Structure 1
């Protein structure tokens, strides 16, 4: 059964592995693995890895960078992936078309960079890479906020100026207008982990002070009094993560799903109740599990109960972390997923 189906992607994400990384533990191959595979347009690295490996996220552990190939970190349609063995260990290598049949010689391949094969379907997560989308409680309470619109406006759109409390310095001069939404709560403790945040648009600081004066440059929706301001930060580079194994124990839950969908399936973005403070990093792969309920044993009677075991239901990859929550892309499902499903590092 394939973990990942083909999905066209038009955004560059290069393969990052710059050295031979042979894992200390054995790598399990897929029972029906090929010895070679020609890369097709629309493939992702997860697609390719799934053809060879039982655990596709372990691709970096057996990838061998061929120094004789120009830019061996990028894979393109038409390239051939070969499965060979070194000292009894499986190794995946890249074979690129070359002029003639004789000795392998370096040459330049004139291929647009935006045709390289991405790690995962980047179009599914691109919009969640650069905006805040989650605000910490302390961050929300201390952030400057809109207190008044100029020229008798009661809401703000592109070009509308407004006053905000409080921005004492002129640097930085660019801000994002953010609207805090519902809290993300830990389902077990009830603790607030952060607040869902909607992106309104960028604003330019015209004058610092209390109140400071700013102008909304563009807007995805109207700004209102009480919207918060955060300094504009650099976006998360699309090539900044790779699949990682989480070695420390972790048990978390899915607490929300983004993009307004009601059913959770492949390539949906979900929110986890674990974040950077729990050791999660972009690239960590986690299993999704269901079950664990405690039910009454009606046969035994006398109020006796039994706890059901957890059953595997899918696989996800974390791509962005905040202090106490994370965003993850669902890569594979074997059954419908739900809010409060469990997540943990994959077990052998």
Structure 2
């Protein structure tokens, strides 16, 4: 009888141990680890950084598997004035090609069980993933295109000129040494930088015949290396076009290229104006050509603004009576984008 009682005690003890162990594992199973949120993949437009010897033909072949799609790439990148001239460091947006970017999601909060008798239960709110990052901004144009485009000034801004050089040449570029007719008397100091430019012509408004100013072209930049009483020695540190003896100097101008958001919504500003001149002084222009308009910062225009080009209204037709104004509807003939407002 005692042996049976001891045996029963052992069975009960073993059962209790099994229940305790089972309870431990049940408890362990109910305490699961926090779920690790997965990273979200967001697609952004692919941007190619131009390298030496790159062409739109090669870029189209690389990303679009078809070199004949170079015109689509050119059309997507309005900052490229000439498809045959792209430069190292330029950013080219590839139409129809994207990069996958991993975005860190918001960590999922773990809700712990609480005693309902102490604090009422809180409502659970579904967590929304963070919005995808905006696409990277791209340059509106290139430094060379921005500088060579030139702009119209109201009055002459000359501070000095390049009057000579220790070189035997008369045409100069980056690294060449020149002499300028400014020195200590003019307040020039070692390390001063000046923009090199040349005036092209006086611009007259084609409608109002008002004198709009002088069209200038930015040629480059120089830095003073030695200062004398009324002259200085300088090195050319930037060259955007041919630099010659006699070219003029003005206070240094920042040639930073404006950056734009390719996905930004274009809001109309209600600005109207006229094309008053073209860089090459032609009566007709085409895609990529530089023109000058009679709207600027005072009108509310800013870099990147787009304008629709219309034929003028109210033109006199060939069969109209002399002096009679015939009503002609607007005809859209193109569009342009502001690259350097003044």
Q: Name the CA distance, whole Å, in 1 between partners of 2:191 and 2:265.
A: 34
Partner of 2:222: 203
* Kept in 2: contact 1:134–1:194 (CA 8 A): no
1:42-61 per-residue CA deviation (whole Å, 9 max, x = no partner) reads 877x969xxxxxxxxxxxxx
Matched, 1:315 2:330: no
Q: Give the deviation of 1:290 after TM superposition.
A: 0.8
* Kept in 2: contact 1:79–1:96 (CA 8 A): no
Which residue among 192, 198, 207 is the counterpart of 1:173? 192
Q: Could you say if the C-alpha distance between residues 292 and 180 of structure 1 is closer, same or farther in structure 2, counting changes exceeding 3 Å? A: same
Partner of 1:145: 160
Q: Could you say if the C-alpha distance between residues 266 and 147 of structure 1 is closer, same or farther in structure 2, counting changes exceeding 3 Å? A: closer
Which residue among 145, 148, 151 is the counterpart of 1:134? 151
Matched, 1:295 2:316: yes
Q: Give the deviation of 1:259 after TM superposition.
A: 6.8
Partner of 2:118: none
Q: Could you say if the C-alpha distance between residues 302 and 203 of structure 1 is closer, same or farther in structure 2, counting changes exceeding 3 Å? A: closer
Q: Could you say if the C-alpha distance between residues 178 and 77 of structure 1 is closer, same or farther in structure 2, counting changes exceeding 3 Å? A: same
Q: Give the deviation of 1:11 after TM superposition.
A: 4.5
Q: Could you say if the C-alpha distance between residues 196 and 239 of structure 1 is closer, same or farther in structure 2, counting changes exceeding 3 Å? A: same
Q: Give the deviation of 1:127 after TM superposition.
A: 2.7
* Kept in 1: contact 2:149–2:279 (CA 8 A): no
Partner of 1:245: 267
Which ranges in structure 2 are unaligned for 5 or more consecutive residues? Answer: 1-45, 51-62, 78-92, 109-127
Q: Which has the higher helix share?
A: 2
Question: RMSD across aligned C-alpha pairs, in angstroms?
Answer: 4.8
How many residues are matched? Answer: 233
What is the TM-score with the length of structure 2 in the denominator?
A: 0.51
Which ranges in structure 1 are unaligned for 5 or more consecutive residues? Answer: 1-7, 13-38, 49-73, 81-94, 110-115, 323-348
The secondary structure found in structure 2 opposite 1:129 is helix
Superposition map of 1:1-348 within 5 A: 10-11=48-49, 78-79=97-98, 126-129=143-146, 133-138=150-155, 141-146=156-161, 148-151=163-166, 155=170, 157-158=172-173, 159-165=176-182, 167-170=186-189, 173-207=192-226, 211-217=230-236, 219=239, 220-239=241-260, 244-247=266-269, 249-258=270-279, 263-295=284-316, 298=319, 304-322=324-342
Q: Name the CA distance, whole Å, in 2 between partners of 1:215 and 1:236.
A: 25
Q: Which has the larger radius of gyration?
A: 2
1:134-160 per-residue CA deviation (whole Å, 9 max, x = no partner) reads 25233xx23312163155968452523
Q: Could you say if the C-alpha distance between residues 209 and 181 of structure 1 is closer, same or farther in structure 2, counting changes exceeding 3 Å? A: farther
Q: Name the CA distance, whole Å, in 1 between partners of 2:318 and 2:279.
A: 37
